[in-house]
Amino acid sequence: MEKVKEMFNMQSRLNTMTNGEDWKSGETSESRNINFYRCIYMEAAEAIDSFNWKHWKDIESDHDWDNAIVEVIDIWHFLMSAILMEGKIDLVRDLEFRTPVKEPNSNLLIAHLEKIISQSIASIDTEDTNIKEILATFLDILSESGVSGDALYIKYIAKNQLNIFRQDHGYKEGTYIKVWDAVEDNVIAQKLMEQHPEFTANQLYKELQREYLHLEENQRHGDHKCEFEEGCEEDVLDDSLSDEVEAN
């Protein structure tokens, strides 16, 4: 329960940072409408699009499970936000995560994702939302993705800190570099947490900062090769550990 509480506190702080102090009113500090249910169903649709479901295109291509799970974590961001906005925190006081399946089934997962899309669309512009049912469906999605509650926590920290990092580096203004020399920032953040699950949020942020500074510096010289491309992950992670030891 402590990890769930921490995630909700982190999400609340991120929403305040991104949208302003009064985000629970449904409007950002720039007077933009906030609709977390639309966010949920859009992320669910992106998760579905991670799978090779199209019968007319690239029918032999593999499913992108890694990206699907990234989108599932994004759903969790917006679901927590909706729960906070509606003041329904009691729904998660005794939250029990389901046992993750050992062999995820893409068809079953897509069915759960389509269900949460339907539930989210039905919750738009109404006071009688399906938040409880949406939470239950999300737990099914998480289980069918093969993600445990502990894994959700680690993956959430990675994406939460990446979201903060993005905001600090021009994401809203459109100046942020999302693809770091052919490697998306999501991949870099998740790899760091997978290799170092003991990282605190602050430690992960510092690692993202270090890599991004290298990116900016070397792009100016035109000779940067992303340290997270295949075959070079070990070196950068070893460097990060050395930096951490020196910092202590």
Share of the chain above pLDDT 90, in %: 65
Q: What is the pLDDT of residues 39-64, one digit of tens each?
A: 999 999 999 999 999 999 988 999 99
pLDDT value at position 232? Answer: 46
The closest alpha carbon to 70, from 134, 165, 151, 175, belongs to: 151
Q: Find, among 160, 13, 1, the residue nearest to 90 by Cα.
A: 1
| Residue 83 CA from chain centroid, whole number | 17
Which residues have CB under 8 Å from 81's CB, separation 6+?
11, 15, 36, 39
Q: Encoding tokens for residue 65? A: 């499970």
Q: How far apart are CA 60 and CA 224, in angstroms?
A: 33
Question: CA–CA separation, 169 vs 192, rounded Å?
Answer: 19
Query: Could you tell me the pLDDT band of residue 227, with boundaries at 50, 70 and 90?
Result: low
Confidence of residue 238 (pLDDT cuts 50, 70, 90): very low
User: Rounded to two decimals, what is the model's pTM?
Assistant: 0.82
Q: Dump pLDDT digits (tens) for 96-125.
A: 999 999 999 999 999 999 999 999 999 998
pLDDT band at residue 147 using 50, 70 and 90 as cut-offs:
very high
CATH for 1-145 is: 1.10.4010.10
The per-residue pLDDT for 194 is: 86
Domain ranges of the chain: 1-145, 157-248
